[in-house]
Amino acid sequence: MESPIGKFICILALLLIVSMASQGSHAAGECGKSTTPDAEAMKLAPCASAAQDVKAPVSDSCCAQVKNIGQSPSCLCAVMLSNTAKVSGIKPEIAITIPKRCNIADRPVGYKCGAYTLP
């Protein structure tokens, strides 16, 4: 039986390949010129269970990735709302709680992320 995290990583890898193949050249977006929100979502694989269950522990590797991506609140938001996150079972209303659960001091508190507001 395959683990949920293993399945999550396989789905993310497949989506990244499809996303990269269909992208071609593009202007700078929320996550910069060299990457897309879907590609950045791949880096959040350690956050899979924490982004689906508010009571799940958040790993140090997850917090490190969220802190790095969160330096650009618009990128972090785009990643949490990306197609990759959606098909991976990420719940945006739970994912937006991860920066707070990681105790990231300089997190973008109050930042509007679609229908959600970062706590």
Length of the chain: 119
Number of C-alpha atoms within 13 angstroms, CB side, residue 37? 18
Reduced to 3 states (helix: H, G, I; strand: E, B; else coil), residue 32 is strand
Asked if residue 66 lies in contact with residue 98, where contact means CB atoms within 8 angstroms, the answer is yes
Contact 37, 79 (CB under 8 A): yes
Residue 73 has pLDDT above 80, yes or no: yes
The predicted structure's pLDDT at residue 106: 85
User: Topology of domain 4-12+35-117, per CATH?
Assistant: Hydrophobic Seed Protein (1.10.110)
- Contact 30/75 with Cβ under 8 angstroms? yes
Work out the pLDDT band at 24, boundaries 50, 70, 90: very low
Delimit the domains of the chain by residue range. Answer: 4-12+35-117
